Amino acid sequence: MAVPYTLLFRTLAMTSAVSRRWRPRSLLQLVLLAFLMVMLPLAVLMFQAGQALSELSRLADQSARQAVEETRRARTLGALALEMERGARQYAVVEQESLLEIFDERLAEFRRLLARQRELLPDDPDVAALSEQLDRLAELPDLPMAEFEARLTDFLPFAEHTEAMRHATNRRIDDRLDAIRVQAEAVQHRLWWQTAALVSASLILMLLFTRLIVRPVRQLERRILGIGSGGQDARVAPVQGPAELVRLDERLDWLASRLDELEEQKQQFLRHMSHELKTPLASVREGSSLLADGVAGELTGHQREILELIDASGSELQQLIEQLLDYNLLQHNRRLETERLDVATVAKEVLAKHRLALRQKGMVVTCFDGPLVWQADRTATTRILDNLISNAIAYGEDGGELEIRARGEHDRLVLEVANSGEAIPEEDRPRLFEAFYQGRIRRKGALKGSGIGLSVAADCARLQHGTLALVDDSRLAVCFRLTLPRPAPATESRELPSASAEPYARND
């Protein structure tokens, strides 16, 4: 059993050395080599099994031939003993010389076969006794008739020893068959061990070559996922493997560089576009402000109404530009700067920013009262509230309700922004937080939305390891729930209980 293990270790060592020093030039070459190396232990096993079976077949054939020959010889000796005794007794009756000649021939034949039987049973006492008795029986033809007849009693022990020799021959044949059976069992056990060792070697080689094939594929998969996710460290390590996969890795390098160039061009375009849009927009808003102040003269009521429309549209356009800049910033700058802040104060500051739009919309606003201290990123939390409130103003009903609710639980902060109006259709909900997705509900106002407000809010929630989701509310049609987890103990803030909700602002 040392041979299979030695072969296994040598095969593994050779394969490891080959894998370190040699790389296949193609995937087909690697696959063919894998099949060859995996089949090699199985071929060795088949060869050894064939050799063992040939050896057992040769031993069985040889033993069968010897058993037949020895059994036939033993039977022949028994028949010759009977013929010798019959011939001697017939001579004692008829005294015919030809019977003595036949007796001498049978005696010589018996002596010749007994010599061959002695080779099979060299230490058998019956064979030795038969040799002595043959010498005594050979003296019979020369004896007088009276003494000849007296010596006929020697045939009785001669027949007994002949029968005993036949039984000894059968036992010797049985012992030989038992030895062959024991040898066959030993060969069978050896084949089992060799099968286990060589099949294990094949399995190890299969795993090794599977790793050699799968490893570069997984490297390419991680590379593709890194490129797709926009990670900075998309390149981990160069792919080592078949030439096809190495060339594919080079193509991915080229693709990554092209995507980086396109991303840089996109950012540059957004920066330039925002600058180019904000500059004339600032001039428009400044001009409308000067006209509203009466610099160009007093305005009629109709002119002032048109001027207010221009100013409101300019304000909405500026908000859209800021949302677009926020979205671009979140895609490339995801640093988190947490601080202790009163969530109620932040909510009221955002509501104050939208005070005029809420008054124009005629919405009744209800906001929770503080203090409610939490450890969070002020900028990200402000952007979430700003986009949710802007969304409520844009899609809520005129003269409707807007509620901002919050509660601090053991391990999380839950903040809800709900408004009355038309409910969001079921078919829009799965894609509600996708960037630039426009739902089926029409936005109220002169300008159409960009479709990135909720996407920015969801990104700001994920930036703080939280979630933003649309939930069902028992009273209001639309309710967004922001859930922020409690920070780590090192930066944890003391939680203060929230007071009951109180009206924050009402339209007169």
- Per-residue pLDDT tens digits for 156-195: 888 888 888 888 888 888 888 888 888 888 888 888 888 8
Q: Measuring CA to CA, which residue among 133, 142, 89, 140 is closest to residue 111?
A: 133
Q: Measuring CA to CA, which residue among 338, 418, 327 is closest to residue 381?
A: 338
Task: Please tell me what DSSP assigns to residue 236.
Answer: -
Mean pLDDT for all residues in the chain: 77
* Contact yes or no for 252/271 (Cβ under 8 A): no
Q: How far is residue 342's CA from residue 494's CA, in Å, rounded to a whole number? A: 11
- Please report the pLDDT score of residue 332 as a whole number: 56
**pLDDT at 501 > cutoff 70:** no
- Per-residue pLDDT tens digits for 291-344: 777 776 777 777 777 877 777 777 767 766 766 666 566 555 556 678 888 999
What angle is formed at CA 146 by the lines to CA 141 and CA 148, rounded to 5 degrees?
30
* Contact yes or no for 288/313 (Cβ under 8 A): no
Instruction: Give phi and psi for 442, each to the nearest 5.
Output: -80, 135
**Band of pLDDT at residue 11, cut at 50, 70 and 90:** low
- Residues 6 or more apart whose CB falls under 8 angstroms from that of 102 comprise 83, 87
- Please report the pLDDT score of residue 504 as a whole number: 36
Q: How far is residue 420's CA from residue 478's CA, in Å, rounded to a whole number? A: 6
Report the run of H or E that residue 131 belongs to, with start and end.
helix 125-137
The pair of structure tokens assigned to 156 is 């009785």
What angle is formed at CA 179 by the lines to CA 178 and CA 184, rounded to 5 degrees?
95
- Per-residue pLDDT tens digits for 480-493: 999 999 876 644 44
Instruction: Give phi and psi for 425, each to the nearest 5.
Output: -60, 150
Give the DSSP per-residue string, 331-369: HH-----EEEEEHHHHHHHHHHHTHHHHHHHT-EEEE--
Determine the topology of domain 336-505 in CATH: Heat Shock Protein 90 (3.30.565)
- Please report the pLDDT score of residue 415 as a whole number: 92
Q: Are strands 467-471 and 478-485 parallel, antiparallel or unpaired?
A: antiparallel
**pLDDT at 246 > cutoff 80:** no
Helix then strand count (H, E) for the chain reads 12, 8
